[in-house]
Amino acid sequence: MDGMLTLLVLLPLAGFLLNGLLGRRLGTGFVNVVGVGLPFLAFGVALWAWRTLEAGDGAPIVETVFTWAVVGEYSFEVAFYLDRLSAVMALIVTGVGALIHLYSIGYMKGDEGYARYFAYLNLFLFFMLLLVLGRSLLVLFVGWEGVGLASYLLIGFWFQDAAKARAGRKAFITNRVGDAGFLLGMFLVFTFAGTLEMDRINEAFAAGLIPVGVATAAGILLFIGATGKSAQIPLHVWLPDAMAGPTPVSALIHAATMVTAGVYLVARLSGVYLEAPAASTLIAVIGVLTAFLAATIALVQTDIKKVLAYSTISQLGFMFLALGVGAYGVAVFHLFTHAFFKAALFLGAGSVIHALNGEQDIRRMGGLARRIPWTFGTFAIATAAIAGLPPLAGFFSKDEILWFAIASGEGGALWLWALGSLTALLTALYMFRLLWLVFLGHSRMEPETERHVHESPVTMTSVLVVLAAFSVIAGWFALPQYLEPLLALPEVRFAWGGWHLLQVIFAVLLALLGLAGAAWLYRDGGRPADELWQRFRRLHRVLAGKYFVDEFYDRALQRPWRWVSDRVFLRLGDRLLIDGSLHGLAALARWSAAAFARVQSGSLHWYAWMTLFGLVAVLIWVWRYV
């Protein structure tokens, strides 16, 4: 039906406007109805749209809303495009989004900025839908930047804490760095394809008319954009800091949806990347490195949300690994499953934090399993899912990724697989570490905190349960196959399908190994692990310091830029050279004026002499050559 997609997009926008303009005045009830109701409605519309799509047997639905700009022969239109990929994304976004909205009612209860919070969250949904439904890169970019904005606003939601505001800014700026690459990639694509509509771009590239060099360059540039949004090396630094925002926000934006936008982008433009093997390889390498390094950092983090943040980065790395080896559908699959279990994890963490009145340090937790059983249960399921224990969701998707990492005919390599597998092991390790430290063992809480521990309200736990359920079943959807018509899976290099089975077994073993390792190391409040780290103190420092990337950026980029701005631009350029020379000229003028005044000494003799001098001068001049 016409207008369906537009309606889908506009629903959250309406929520934003209503809550933003009126929310404060009309009270919590109104805010809840609007702020939570509309996302659910949107989910409903998304389902409806998906049904419509399937009714048409997956033929893309295009909905042109209006023409944004026509410049010469180029036309930029705002149009929505629904195919299976975007439908899956829209469903995730609205589904998980709606759940998290619901969860937020309990989590944010009594907050001063309650209406503002829901307004922002709705705004986020709006932009995210714009992102996934946009037909052209331009609309996607609008959403892309828009979710960045929402993220910025929500990270800095408690703006009176300067550190939080700063974290929001960091996220925005880091994203902007990626966006710069994105823009350039977009321009390059536009220059060759003459359009920004992604289906047509894919067609143009698929037609093979565009030089490989260009495709590679465009691919890399767009991927830079993706690294920004999806927190890949080297632009991953913002995501851990983004945990300053309210936890549901971390769940929705910084785990389930927004950060996967980069994955979506690459998948969406698979036509470009298929033409650019070098770019794809780069993606795979960055992906696997990110996955590995983030996992190592996650091992030693002590903030519950930071652990999850690094885990998110790591999982996103997996997705990019899949993208890099051409398994776009698999990446989306992992995106899909990840959305549920990571949301569940974050919301679980939120529940923990809620229960502990804001405590986030896992060293001061422990033994919560009995006190908050619902949270514990769902958290455990999600942990198992992310660790890749069968038959939970993560098992299926991650396994596929690892399989294609080695088996893909488009860039699969042993070392990718090996590193990926190691990361999978680490994942299991750090996730179970988290589980152990938070929920099991004995309590290390402050007595004051401990007294107040309480299970979260039903609005929160119900959401946890739903998400946990999905963490279980999400893997059972054969998403790669569902997307196959759109995103073909790469051909497999190994003739014998049995290899795959071996890999599965190996992966499960790794997960179990991780589980066992964690159980052993982190029993008793993690003392064995501490002793172990004592031996590798230096390594621990590096990991706890997150490889000092932040410090490196600070020293290598931010401080030099400030230094250059201040010393070179301001002091040397503006003040000394430009204004200095101007003031010098002014001083010269004043000096000459003073000199002229001295000449005008008042002495008649002197005046007469000047006349005499003038006469002599002009006479000599005119008689010079005669």
Partner 1 sequence: MGVAVTIETVFFGIFSLGALAGAVAMFFLRHPMRVALALIGTMLSLAAIYAQLGLHVIAVFQVLIYVGAVMVFMIYAIMLLDVRDRSFTERFSPLLVAGLAGLLLLVGVLVDGLLRGEPVVTPVIREDVFSVGTFAAVFMDEFWVYFALAAVLLLVAEIAASAVIDIRRRGEDLAAARREKLDE
Partner 2 sequence: MTPEGLLLAALPEHLLLLGILAILVTDLVSSRPRDAFLPALLTVLAAALAAFWLHGTGHSAAPFPGHFSVDADAFAAKALLFGLAVPALFLARDERHESRFAMLLLASLYGAGLLLSADSLLMLFFGLELLSLPLYALVVLGFRRPESAEAALKYLVLGGVGTAVLLMGLSLTLGATGGLMAADFRTALEGEDFLSRGAVVLVVAAFMLKAAVVPFHAWAPDAYEGASVPATAYMATVVKGAVLLALVRLFGEAGAATELLAVVVALSLLSIVWGNLAAMRQEGFRRLIAYSSIAHAGYLFLALLGPAEARFEAVAFYVIVYGLTNLLALACLPRGEDWLRDRLDSLKGLYHRDPRSAILIAVAMLSLAGIPPFPGFVAKFLVFRTVMESGLVAVAVVGLVASYLGIYLYLRVIRYMFMSPAEAHPKTRPAAGFATAAALMTLAAVLLVGIFPGVVLGWL
Partner 3 sequence: MSDANLLLAVSGMLFALGLVGVVVRRNLLVMLMFLELMLNGVLLSLAVFTQLLGAEAGAVLMFLVFVVAAAEIAIAVPIVLLLVRAGRTLDPGSYAGLKG
Residues that bind partner 1 (CB under 8 A): 603, 605-606, 609, 612-613, 615-616, 619-620, 623, 626
Residue 3 — left, alpha, or beta (φ > 0 → left; ψ -120 to 50 → alpha)? Answer: left
Identify the burial level of 322 via C-beta atoms within 10 angstroms of its C-beta, where 0-12 means exposed, 13-18 middle and 19 or more buried. buried
Report, in Å, the least distance between residue 602 CB and partner 2: 7
Q: Among partner 3, partner 1, partner 2, none, what does residue 614 contact (CB within 5–8 Å per kind)?
A: partner 2
Evaluate the CA torsion angle 514, 516, 520, 526 in order and state its sign: positive
Is residue 244 a contact partner of residue 238, using CB atoms and an 8 Å limit? no
Report, in Å, the least distance between residue 603 CB and partner 3: 5
> Residues 510 to 569: which contact partner 2 by CB under 8 A?
none
Q: How big, in percent rounded to 5, are the helix, strand and coil portions of the chain? A: 80, 5, 20
Does 593 bind partner 2 (CB under 8 A)? Our answer is yes
Nearer to partner 1, 497 or 602 (CB): 602
The b/e string for 438-447 (b: 16+ C-beta within 10 A; e otherwise) is bbbbebbbee
Does 587 bind partner 2 (CB under 8 A)? Our answer is no
Does 596 bind partner 2 (CB under 8 A)? Our answer is yes
Task: Catalog residues that contact partner 3 under the rule CB under 8 A.
Answer: 597, 600-605, 608-609, 611-612, 615
Separation between Cα atoms, residue 281 and residue 160, nearest integer Å: 44
Does 581 bind partner 2 (CB under 8 A)? Our answer is no
Q: Among partner 1, partner 2, partner 3, none, what does residue 415 contact (CB within 5–8 Å per kind)?
A: none
Does 602 bind partner 2 (CB under 8 A)? Our answer is yes
Tokens representing 222? 């767009």
Is residue 125 a contact partner of residue 256, using CB atoms and an 8 Å limit? no
Nearer to partner 2, 66 or 623 (CB): 623
Report, in Å, the least distance between residue 626 CB and partner 2: 6
Q: Among partner 1, partner 2, partner 3, none, what does residue 620 contact (CB within 5–8 Å per kind)?
A: partner 1
User: Any residues with CB less than 8 A from the CB of 404 and at least 6 apart, and which?
Assistant: 322, 325, 326, 327, 330, 412, 489, 490, 492
Distances (CA, A) of 345 to 304, 321, 377: 10, 23, 11
Nearer to partner 1, 160 or 603 (CB): 603
Report, in Å, the least distance between residue 608 CB and partner 1: 8
Report, in Å, the least distance between residue 601 CB and partner 3: 6
Does 610 bind partner 2 (CB under 8 A)? Our answer is yes
Report, in Å, the least distance between residue 595 CB and partner 1: 17
Q: Pick from 96, 123, 120, 89: which is nearest to 5 by CA?
A: 89
- H/E stretch holding 75 reads strand 74-82
Q: Among partner 2, partner 1, partner 3, none, what does residue 577 contact (CB within 5–8 Å per kind)?
A: none
Distances (CA, A) of 567 to 556, 561, 571: 16, 10, 5
Nearer to partner 3, 604 or 622 (CB): 604
> Residues 319 to 348: which contact partner 2 by CB under 8 A?
none
Does 589 bind partner 2 (CB under 8 A)? Our answer is yes
User: Phi and psi for 66 in degrees, rounded to 5?
Assistant: -160, 165
Report, in Å, the least distance between residue 609 CB and partner 1: 5
One DSSP character per residue, 9-41 reads: HHHHHHHHHHHHHHHHHHHHHHHHHHHHHHHHH
Decide: helix, strand or coil at residue 361.
strand
Separation between Cα atoms, residue 65 and residue 81, nearest integer Å: 11
Report, in Å, the least distance between residue 575 CB and partner 2: 22
Distances (CA, A) of 86 to 140, 225, 258, 265, 580: 11, 19, 14, 10, 58
Q: Among partner 1, partner 3, partner 2, none, what does residue 162 contact (CB within 5–8 Å per kind)?
A: none
Q: Residue 76 forms beta bridges with which residues?
A: 69
Report, in Å, the least distance between residue 598 CB and partner 3: 8
Nearer to partner 3, 160 or 603 (CB): 603
Report, in Å, the least distance between residue 569 CB and partner 1: 50
Does 592 bind partner 2 (CB under 8 A)? Our answer is yes
Does 606 bind partner 2 (CB under 8 A)? Our answer is yes
Q: Which residues of the shown chain bind partner 2 in the complex (CB under 8 A)? A: 589-590, 592-594, 596-597, 600, 602, 604, 606-608, 610-611, 613-615, 617-619, 621-626
